[in-house]
Amino acid sequence: MMCRFVPLVFAICLATCGAGETRTPVFPPPPRLAITAEELAATKARADFVQMKDAALKAADPLVEKPVVLPDGFGSWVFYYACADDGTRLTMVTPVDHECPKCHKHFSDERTIAAYRGILHSEAERAALKLAWAFAYSGEEKYAAAVKRILLKFADDYPNYPGRIDRWNHRGIFAPLGGRRRVQSLEEAEGALPLSKAYDLTRTSAVWSDTERKHVENDFFRLTAETLLRFPMSLENRQAWYNAALMAIGSVLSDAALIDKALNANGGFFDQLQRGVGDDGFWWEGTMAYQTYVVQPMIETVEIARRMGLQLQDNARFKSLLASPLHAMYPDGTFPCVNDSDPANIHLFDASFEWAWRTYKDPLFAQALAFGNPAKLTELLGPDAKPANPADEQSCDLASVGLLFLRAGKGSNAVCVVHHYGSPGGDATGHGHWNKLNITLFANGREWLADIGRIGYEHKEYKTWAKRTIAHNTLTLDQADQRVNSGKLLWTKSGEDFSASASESTESYANSTLRRFLFLTPTMLIDVFDVKTDHKATLDLAAHAITEPVVPEDPTPPQSNASLGTDNGYQHLKDIRAWSPAGNSRWSFPTGKDGPALFVLLAHSPNEQVFAASGIGYRPDQNAPCLIRRRSAQETRFASVYDLSGKGVAVKKIVSREGDWPHVIVTTNEKVYDVQFSREGVVVSHPVAGE
């Protein structure tokens, strides 16, 4: 059975967000941003407050004894603080001399120095909040004075920062993503949150004069808000951070109009929920890294609003956003690295799960927060609590981001294929990859076929490999990258022991149709890729894994000096070996002498070459073996079957029959699967010997 998502009703304004909800923000005496006076009093009454206070003072005291260095000038992009050759983060020797710890090259150019200033800005932001909590818990004025030192410096400097500058050195109206204190308004928004909270926690201290308060409020916070309002970003993830920062500044300044803009403007909190979050709860960019990145400021917005009497937390679409990661996991709780993501698991969302559990008391969020941790579950739900899998165990179509999770089997036998079939979503911005009809594969408790995500923006391989079509488990035509497009899921079907699907892309390449058919059981995956184009083309179907090098069962010596290409990612393929199989061939992705392996049987085609090579894994220095099937054809069908037993004992034989639609017969160690695909669905039978 496929899981389905019921569309959620969206609240379009504050007046309709919940029964009895306050429509106008209220501004009680400070503190009112990170905590209210009532909440602070309750915190001080807790049995463990002494430990909380001691921890806060321990974090703040070194910042009093050795104050953070405050930057003289705006800060550039943190990813520029890296070696231009190998992407390694630099080390400061002096403020104008920075060294790569890997190759020991020194950098003293303005871009590097400005990036280092950006780090100093971030350190000052974090320090201010640590110091502010120490004051809130202890009342000791030295902590408030240290906060004041930081904020007055920023207030003194802000009017003298560039009018607007971005990380590409564009200025003014040509720098819509830029900022003033930082070269991204995004970073200014992120920094405004801890700085606003630090000011709000300390502004009642006697160390502040009225003149100093007005200076910080008008020359820092008000000007920061103007910077964030100048170029609205609509549905960009950065706008969610703008909204949260504007909420924080609005609270500090008692500015109801600013609160209204953050919530109700185009790109405001409610608009982003309506247009940026799908009915399945997924943020439109289609990557878990940016899913968690946008959840953080939205929770900040809800919390800031709550302390001003605005109850936003029960918005149904917001709640679906918080629960959505549970639909997108492998059986072991890890996430596939789709688009610009990094390797991560369910605990990437611990902060939002913890907030949701505290807010809603829904056991689902407690189970998610305690995934794999029985002691944590007992702490949250009591000694009688039993672990329950919070994740989806059925196949699931996340249509808003074009991701299909095909699932089969239970427990230790659970397998999963993640199929990126559609939605241009993130592809249309910098966070998407050119990889329509890509798949990843999980079995035997681990990921086999991998999407390596973004590697890291500081590495040149991010653009030369990670985004490229050949770096993915899909088809590349004429060694060129696919175009941005939205594919289509034709159908999905689940049976007693299988899940299946068909998908199509007609715009990845001009005048070409790509179709992929998948049939998954607990012990095998049938994978059929049909290609039809208007000319005889070079067609490469790749399969990448983080394993030992690919091993063929065919003892025929390979051609060892083979070449696959020199551009669009192909230049990163190395250790290339080539075979021209005379019939069906069998290959394995091993994990060591006694470890499990992924085996794959390839249906033969007379004009096919099979290449074993090595690409790039999750890091630039990590090898990722790959198997590439190459044909020169105008129309062809690649048929493969993956043995998911881990030992190569499940799949015995594959037969791919010709026809308009795929017809594959696979003999396993248990039975024969006769699988006939069509545009409408799949028909499965199990003939016996002699039929």
State the DSSP string of 130-152: HHHHHHHHH--HHHHHHHHHHHH
CATH, residue 250: 1.50.10.100
**Beta-sheet strands, E only, within 421-573:** 438-443, 446-447, 475-477, 488-494, 499-505, 513-520, 524-544, 551-552
Let me know if 557 is exposed, middle or buried by CB neighbors in 10 A (0-12, 13-18, 19+): exposed
Q: How many CB atoms lie within 10 A of CB 579?
A: 19
What are the backbone dihedrals phi and psi of residue 485, each rounded to the nearest 5 degrees, phi first?
A: -165, 170
What are the backbone dihedrals phi and psi of residue 315, each rounded to the nearest 5 degrees, phi first?
A: -60, 120
Number of separate helices (H) and strands (E) present in the chain: 16, 26
Distance CA 265, CA 243 (A): 10
Question: In the prediction, which pLDDT does 425 show?
Answer: 64
Distance CA 498, CA 510 (A): 34
508 falls within a domain: yes
> Are 6 and 279 in contact, with CB atoms under 8 Å apart?
yes
Q: How many CB atoms lie within 10 A of CB 18?
A: 15
128 falls within a domain: yes
Confidence of residue 3 (pLDDT cuts 50, 70, 90): low
Distance CA 87, CA 85 (A): 6
* Each residue's pLDDT tens digit, 480-536: 999 999 999 999 999 989 999 999 999 999 999 999 999 999 999 999 999 999 999
3-state secondary structure of 383: coil
Which residues constitute the domain of residue 660?
395-685
User: Among residues 418, 447, 448, which one has the least CA distance to residue 435?
Assistant: 418
> Are 387 and 377 in contact, with CB atoms under 8 Å apart?
yes
Distance CA 47, CA 52 (A): 10
> Are 525 and 441 in contact, with CB atoms under 8 Å apart?
yes
Looking at the fold, whether 481 and 575 belong to one and the same domain comes out as yes
Specify the pairing of strand 524-544 against strand 475-477.
Answer: antiparallel
Region 236-256: mean pLDDT is 97
Region 260-265: mean pLDDT is 97
Confidence of residue 431 (pLDDT cuts 50, 70, 90): confident
Looking at the fold, whether 316 and 400 belong to one and the same domain comes out as no
Longest dimension (CA), the chain: 94
Distance CA 50, CA 136 (A): 13
- Measured in whole angstroms, the distance separating CA 625 from the mean position of its chain's CA atoms is 24
Question: In the prediction, which pLDDT does 22 show?
Answer: 42
Question: In the prediction, which pLDDT does 2 show?
Answer: 63
Residues 6+ apart with CB under 8 A from 23: 14, 15
Question: In the prediction, which pLDDT does 12 show?
Answer: 31
Looking at the fold, whether 475 and 604 belong to one and the same domain comes out as yes
CA distances (Å), origin 321, targets 97, 324, 538, 539 = 44, 5, 42, 39
CA distances (Å), origin 651, targets 117, 163, 441, 580 = 58, 65, 17, 22
384 falls within a domain: no
Specify the pairing of strand 395-398 against strand 2-3.
Answer: parallel
The structure tokens listed for 441 are: 């594969």
Distance CA 436, CA 485 (A): 8
The structure tokens listed for 93 are: 């020797």
Looking at the fold, whether 175 and 254 belong to one and the same domain comes out as yes
381 falls within a domain: no
Region 97-122: mean pLDDT is 96
Specify the pairing of strand 574-579 against strand 438-443.
Answer: unpaired
Region 616-632: mean pLDDT is 96
Question: In the prediction, which pLDDT does 592 show?
Answer: 86
* Each residue's pLDDT tens digit, 597-606: 999 999 999 9
Region 261-290: mean pLDDT is 94
331 falls within a domain: no
3-state secondary structure of 471: helix
Region 11-32: mean pLDDT is 63
Residue 13 has pLDDT above 50, yes or no: no
Q: How many CB atoms lie within 10 A of CB 105?
A: 14
> Are 76 and 183 in contact, with CB atoms under 8 Å apart?
yes
Looking at the fold, whether 440 and 320 belong to one and the same domain comes out as no
The structure tokens listed for 7 are: 């569309």
- Measured in whole angstroms, the distance separating CA 455 from the mean position of its chain's CA atoms is 12
Residue 16 has pLDDT above 70, yes or no: no
> Are 440 and 490 in contact, with CB atoms under 8 Å apart?
no
Looking at the fold, whether 411 and 505 belong to one and the same domain comes out as yes
Looking at the fold, whether 314 and 405 belong to one and the same domain comes out as no
- Measured in whole angstroms, the distance separating CA 601 from the mean position of its chain's CA atoms is 32
3-state secondary structure of 379: helix
3-state secondary structure of 75: strand
Distance CA 335, CA 598 (A): 20
Region 376-404: mean pLDDT is 94
Distance CA 262, CA 268 (A): 5
| Assessment of whether the complete model's pTM goes beyond 0.85 | yes
Region 536-540: mean pLDDT is 97
Out of 324, 355, 381, a domain closes at 324
User: Among residues 204, 212, 77, which one has the least CA distance to residue 153?
Assistant: 212
Out of 324, 345, 371, a domain closes at 324
Region 49-60: mean pLDDT is 98
633 falls within a domain: yes
| DSSP code for 465 | I
Residue 403 has pLDDT above 60, yes or no: yes
Looking at the fold, whether 293 and 431 belong to one and the same domain comes out as no
Looking at the fold, whether 181 and 285 belong to one and the same domain comes out as yes
109 falls within a domain: no
Distance CA 578, CA 647 (A): 25
Distance CA 404, CA 422 (A): 9
Residue 345 has pLDDT above 50, yes or no: yes
* Each residue's pLDDT tens digit, 297-335: 999 999 999 999 999 999 999 999 999 999 999 999 999
> Are 518 and 439 in contact, with CB atoms under 8 Å apart?
yes
The three-point CA angle 421-620-622 to 5° equals 90
Half-sphere exposure of 615 (CA within 13 A, CB side): 32
The gap between the terminal CA atoms of the chain, to the nearest Å, is 30
Specify the pairing of strand 682-685 against strand 672-677.
Answer: antiparallel
Distance CA 32, CA 306 (A): 10
Out of 324, 342, 357, a domain closes at 324
Residue 547 has pLDDT above 70, yes or no: yes
86 falls within a domain: no
Let me know if 232 is exposed, middle or buried by CB neighbors in 10 A (0-12, 13-18, 19+): middle
Distance CA 19, CA 13 (A): 13
Region label for 267, one of left (φ > 0), alpha (ψ between -120 and 50) or beta (otherwise): left
Question: In the prediction, which pLDDT does 10 show?
Answer: 31
CATH, residue 505: 2.70.98.70
User: Among residues 233, 242, 230, which one has the least CA distance to residue 188?
Assistant: 242
Peptide bond into 31 cis (omega under 30): yes
Looking at the fold, whether 315 and 409 belong to one and the same domain comes out as no
Looking at the fold, whether 317 and 441 belong to one and the same domain comes out as no
Confidence of residue 19 (pLDDT cuts 50, 70, 90): very low
* Each residue's pLDDT tens digit, 200-233: 999 999 999 999 999 999 999 999 999 999 999 9
- Measured in whole angstroms, the distance separating CA 437 from the mean position of its chain's CA atoms is 19
Looking at the fold, whether 310 and 421 belong to one and the same domain comes out as no
Considering its fold, how many domains does the chain have in total? 2
